[in-house]
Chain A
């Protein structure tokens, strides 16, 4: 070689070196609220062995983590906790939304369950399944690594560009109409809800 580098030295960009190091030492913050958490534990356990990807160090303090794994349904009482945990994690940080409930609310379309955490916190990777098998989570971690290597920068400047919420709007048109309907029924009170017209409105609520 013209420059005359020794054999154990190679040249690269700082961004690539930092991303390579980060992608191989992702420390997950397990936010496990339901059955997905069991699969998350199985992923970390010996048979599937998440340690092969450098992501086996589950830290239970958000201050020491850089990968938030939301595993399971998040109820409205838990969402402020989740947001706070996300804000407490130091940069750079990423988020995997694991399972149908975390991604979309799943079968729990009720007053208490948030219909997808991506409405309220940024999500990098979605894992479908109910619950996903450990292989799927491993695939997500590998994709996450690839994404970090592909887009990562030393100063984390790629995050600044992501200034729009990724998920659906918290109040989509459908939800707005439904709330309006519900309030109408309430204003009409008990008896209005019992009339045929009220019942029809009520039926629309579950459409």
Chain B
């Protein structure tokens, strides 16, 4: 098991550990994120990225940052799981891509970019994954209206005589 103190020695005392339903979570500042993830991979055996997602904390009680990006890691051989979280903020929500560590982050980072507009520096192909390419908004942001800004109805109308 990765000791928090070991990580804190390397990456500073800003790391915070918490537990929820037996899931260990470590919060890390965005500046130390890539360093720490590559250390977790190379020295602590976390060889799999299970999931990468984000949370928009707009209007969330007690939240100080706008987005939280969540990395869920798994050590296949040791069976250990670890959740690493980091915070990013507008107007420039940018994080380093972990494509060089785990290839499985490819579509996950694209989806987070598509839905939240968080840019992953160094991703080889950061296009939208789900929404059409000409779509401009980021629909999972909490300030985006549920019914959209009219994108769903912005199409030509075909009449029977015209088809």
Which residues does A use to contact B, with CB under 8 Å?
76-77, 79-80, 83, 86-87, 109-115, 119-122, 159-166, 170-171, 175, 178-179, 181-183, 185-186, 190, 193-194, 202, 205-206
Contact = CB atoms under 8 A, between A and B. Distances in A.
Interface of B: 58-59, 90, 130-132, 139, 143-163
Contacts of A165: 157, 159
Nearest to A113: B152
Given A111-B151, A163-B162, A194-B59, A119 B157 contact: yes
A120 B130 CA distance: 22
A159 B160 contact: yes
Contact of B158 (A83, A161, A202): A83
- Closest 7 pairs (CB-CB, A-B): A111-B148, A162-B160, A122-B160, A170-B153, A163-B161, A182-B145, A179-B150
Given A111-B147, A178-B145, A182-B149, A163 B159 contact: yes
A122 B159 contact: yes
Contact of B155 (A80, A110, A160): A80
Contacts of B153: 114-115, 119, 170-171, 175
Given A120-B157, A121-B158, A190-B143, 13 more contacts: A83-B158, A111-B146, A111-B148, A112-B139, A122-B159, A159-B161, A162-B160, A163-B160, A165-B159, A175-B150, A178-B145, A178-B147, A179-B149
Contacts of A163: 159-162
A120 to B, nearest CB: 5
Contacts of A112: 131, 139, 148, 152
A77 B158 contact: no
A205 B163 contact: no
B56 to A, nearest CB: 11
B143 A185 contact: yes
A206 B146 contact: yes
Contact of B152 (A114, A159, A161, A206): A114
A62 B154 CA distance: 24
A183 B149 contact: yes
Nearest to A118: B157
A182 B145 CA distance: 7
